[in-house]
Structure 1
Amino acid sequence: MTLPPTRWELAGEDNRGYGVHFADSVARGVDVDGEARFVDAMAARGSRILDVGSGMGRVSAALRARGHDVVATEPDADLRAQSLATYPDLPVLPHQALALDPDEVGTFDVVTLVGNVMIFLGEGTERRVLERVRDLLRPDGRAVLGFHLTAVKAGSRTYPADELVADAEASGLRVVHRFGSYELHEPVDDYAVWVLARA
């Protein structure tokens, strides 16, 4: 199957500072674990978690440190290299979301697509990705999505809340929660954290 290029991939050099920024933050001891704390709080001990678009590895590494069985996947070679440099014990698959086959990787208690993954997907693939997320979830599993609702960087898209809800419902998912942050603030206009489950 030929996969469309992601918006992240098409943006090329315009996004190269992302991994370096977070690696520097980790090295300086900055707290970068907000997403991981959120997922850890909703997951049973030792949950099987898939981190789609794991970037430079910070969320996957933090969840592994909390005792979860984590599968990280990141299609960008530079970000995988940054992840290896920062977290050498964290294996990372080189797949984008649509290349993840449940028959090969199994199913998960939690699937995360945080760090604006949803607004950097390939053009027109949002529903297909959400369908794949549904298929990767165990029957009682949940997905966590976090992204800016408006374009924030080169190549990203605007993805309004009502469009995400419609795409989720069309993909066999339902919205369980919507927050304005990983600290459970009320919904806001420019950022959303979603918890989805199978419909």
Structure 2
Amino acid sequence: MSTPDTHGSDLPKTRWELAGEGNRGYGTKFARLVEEGADVDGEARLADVLVGRGARILDIGSGMGRVAAALQARGHAVTAVEPDPALVEQSRRTYPDLAVVHADVLDVAPADLGADYDLVVLVGNVMVFLAPDTEREVLRRVRTVLAPGGRALVGFHPVDGPATARAYSPDDFVADVTACGLRVDLRAGSYELHPPADDYTVWVLSRDEDAPAPTSFGHALQG
């Protein structure tokens, strides 16, 4: 991605932004876990299984960088995108070898985002913290940037998540996925692939090649 810091457009505020200081505990928690040597690589292990060696991976909402850094350490070419300035700073400090783009994924020109990713990662409740009514825009973009045979790994709390997160039922998510030219290849209840559960959902998605490709990303992406 050619632009290192593009955050600050007229995009609507995300649910994460609306929480303000209420989100600061996330970075503090994972900084402590990393310092203590705790296992914080669960999502990355599953992501690594989904691709071949040296894959191109896009991490949308990369947070403080733990998943992207773990995938990079496994030999993948990772593009990390994160809109929260505090988390971008923490990521750059904690994982100095990981390049992080400070931007909302919907605020990056399609040409700058790139294409042909073997895997797109949206874990850690990214989908339920998006700005209202932008979920399909993000999913359309996921479909567009995937390489042939590429997949997306998504994980979130459908209910009872953090205070400002939306409730996002599996039925509503599947409807959005289908409307955006994607399909569900797998649903599980954890990154260790336990059976589907009510409190957390893990999804592996891929392109539905029989569906029409998206042609527009909406007003926020023009120009």
| SS of match in other structure, 1:181 | coil
Say how many residue pairs are matched. Answer: 199
- Measured in 2, the distance between the counterparts of 1:102 and 1:179 equals 31
- Pairs within 5 Å for 1:25-104: 25-104=33-112
* Residues 160-194 of structure 1: per-residue CA shift (max 9 Å, x gap): 00000000000110001001000010100111100
Q: Which letter maps to 2:166? A: R
Q: Aligned partners of 2:160, 2:99: CA distance in 1, in Å?
A: 30
Give, in whole Å, the separation in 2 of the partners of 1:99 and 1:141. 23
Whole-angstrom distance in 1 between the partners of 2:101 and 2:150: 21
Mapped partners of 1:111, 1:102: distance in 2: 15
Q: Show the counterpart of 1:5.
A: 13
The answer to whether the 8 Å contact 1:20/1:82 transfers is no
Structure-2-length-normalised TM-score: 0.87
Unaligned runs of 5+ in 2: 1-8, 209-223
Is the Cα–Cα contact under 8 Å of residues 149 and 189 in structure 1 kept in the other structure? yes
Among residues 199, 205, 208, which one is paired with 1:190 in the alignment? 199
In 1, Cα distance between equivalents of 2:111 and 2:185: 26
Match of 1:147 in 2: 156
Q: Distance in 1 between matches of 2:11 and 2:143?
A: 19
SS of 1:70's partner is: strand
Task: Describe the SS at the equivalent of 1:122.
Answer: coil
The alpha carbon displacement at 1:23 in A equals 1.3
Partner residue in 1 for 2:118: 109
In 1, Cα distance between the equivalents of 2:84 and 2:108? Answer: 15
How high is the sequence identity, in percent, across the aligned residues? 59
CA RMSD after TM alignment: 1.0
What residue identity is the alignment partner of 2:121?
A: T
* Letter of the structure 1 residue corresponding to residue 134 of structure 2: T
C-alpha displacement at 1:154, in angstroms? 2.4
CA distance in 2: counterparts of 1:154 and 1:101, whole angstroms = 31
Which of these residues, 138, 149, 157, is aligned with residue 147 of structure 2? 138
- Separation in 2, partners of 1:66, 1:135: 25
Contact map agreement 1:119 1:151 (CA 8 A) in 2? no
Q: Shift of residue 86 of structure 1? A: 0.9
Give ranges in structure 1 of 5+ residues lacking alignment: none
In the alignment, which of 106, 117, 126 is matched to residue 135 of structure 2?
126
Give CA-to-partner distance per residue, 1:44-77, whole Å, 9 cap, x none. Answer: 0000000000000000000000000000010000
> Rg: which structure is higher?
2
1:22 corresponds in structure 2 to 30
Task: State whether residues 11 and 155 of structure 1, in contact with CA within 8 Å, keep that contact through their aligned partners in structure 2.
Answer: yes
For 1:2 and 1:174, locate their aligned partners in 2 and report how far apart those are by CA, in whole Å: 31
CA distance in 2, matches of 1:97, 1:177: 24
Matched residue type, 2:151: R
Deviation, structure 1 residue 84: 1.3
CA distance in 2, matches of 1:66, 1:6: 31
CA contact (8 A) 1:54 1:73 kept: yes
